[in-house]
Amino acid sequence: MAEQKQFVGQAEFAKGLEGVIACESTMGYVDGKEGKLIYRGYDIFELAEHSTFEETSYLLLFGKLPSQSELDDFKQKLVQQRAVPKEVINALKIVAKTAHPMASLRTGVSVLGAMDKNAEDESIENYTSIGISLIAKMATIAGAITRFRKGKKPVDPDPKLDHTANFLYMMNGQKPDDYTARVMDVSLILHADHGMNASTFSSMVVASSMSDMYSAITAGIASLKGSLHGGANEQVMHMLDEIGSVDKVDAWVDDAIATKKKLMGFGHRVYKAYDPRATILGEYSQKITEAHGRKDLYDMAKRMEDKVIAAYGERGIFPNVDFYSGTIYSAFGIETALFTPIFAVSRISGWAGRVIEYVTENRLFRPRAVYTGEMEAKYVPMAQR
């Protein structure tokens, strides 16, 4: 835990709120010491092997695995909610070509909220309804952003496809093969929730003021955009592009260590063991990059992992989820700038679930700051300054 400071005998604080307990939750648990990630009691390895993103989203929203009829109903609701108003598409058409994709995504969700006449309904039923709608629509918005950035028209959702297959279809205009869809589905499962991370906390803070679900999710998107959070997977690919080839990895890492350059995709505020999500994605990266003719990406990443662990492993610095996810998306031919919107398409399930859980017994977040300024400054008239 970070060093804490006393606040005039009344309170303590840690920079970045590190280690501070802000609420109780049954949503998920991160065991950083043992390298475990739990959703509603289920180990992430179990969910990645056996579950789907739709089922995992249901689990996060409702606290239990669904029956077959419940899952069928949930999936049908997602299909029915995929379409977005033309006003949203028109707004995206204006901003998507030049803005960062996460800024475009933020804009799209804001427009959705402005158009929803029920947005101010504070009932849990309405929050849940909006959450389901946003799980469906975030994929459609991200798909439209992808198309506009390519100078192409958006692709309409296909009601015959499952959520993740449809997402890839709306991005690429081609229906994915089963294995590609499954790998992306696993990636979405792994990114769906992760404790009180910055974007989740941002969403919960906004929701705690009883603003509305759209505002809360917009705040989450804004936070996820940052390079220290969701944007880290973009930075990993920029780093690998800078290195260029596997034979240059050793020298690059040695120089980075000597100059104390930040190694993107390594280390985590919580994990002091190997990130379980990176374990799963690392295995998929090896298979996907080879299948798509981009094994160079995996080879560079794996060599870099070996070098960094040899240097810093004893200090608990290992690859995190961002390290291998980018190699998979790149092998799929996805533009680097779109990696973080994919993250958001997944994390919306966790954001919505935690917001709903928190507002059920809501209390406004109102922390204090340690004041370190003057206490008895005297006002000086303008003529005397």
**For 119-131, what is the mean pLDDT?**
97
Pairing state between β 42-43 and 36-39: antiparallel
Between CA 268 and CA 320 the distance in angstroms is 7
Catalytic residues, by residue number, are 229, 268, 322
66-226: what fold? Citrate Synthase; domain 1 (1.10.580)
Residue-level pLDDT at 10: 57
- Global pTM reads 0.92
Residue whose C-alpha is closest to residue 205's, from 32, 3, 18, 363: 363
Q: What is the pLDDT of residues 141-184, one digit of tens each?
A: 999 999 999 999 999 999 999 999 999 999 999 999 999 999 99
The tokens describing 128, both together, are 């849940």
> 27 near 61, Cβ under 8 Å?
no
Residue-level pLDDT at 325: 92
Residue-level pLDDT at 8: 47
Amino acid making up residue 246: V
Amino acid making up residue 57: S
Does pLDDT of 3 surpass 60? no
Q: Please, which pLDDT band fits residue 243 given cuts at 50, 70 and 90?
A: very high
Tally helices (H) and strands (E) across the chain. 16, 5
- In the chain, where the domains are located: 66-226, 232-331
232-331: what fold? Cytochrome p450-Terp; domain 2 (1.10.230)
The rounded percent of the chain whose pLDDT value lies above 70 is 97
Between CA 370 and CA 204 the distance in angstroms is 23
The H or E element containing residue 4 is strand 4-7
**For 123-130, what is the mean pLDDT?**
97
Q: What is the pLDDT of residues 291-316, one digit of tens each?
A: 999 999 999 999 999 999 999 888 88
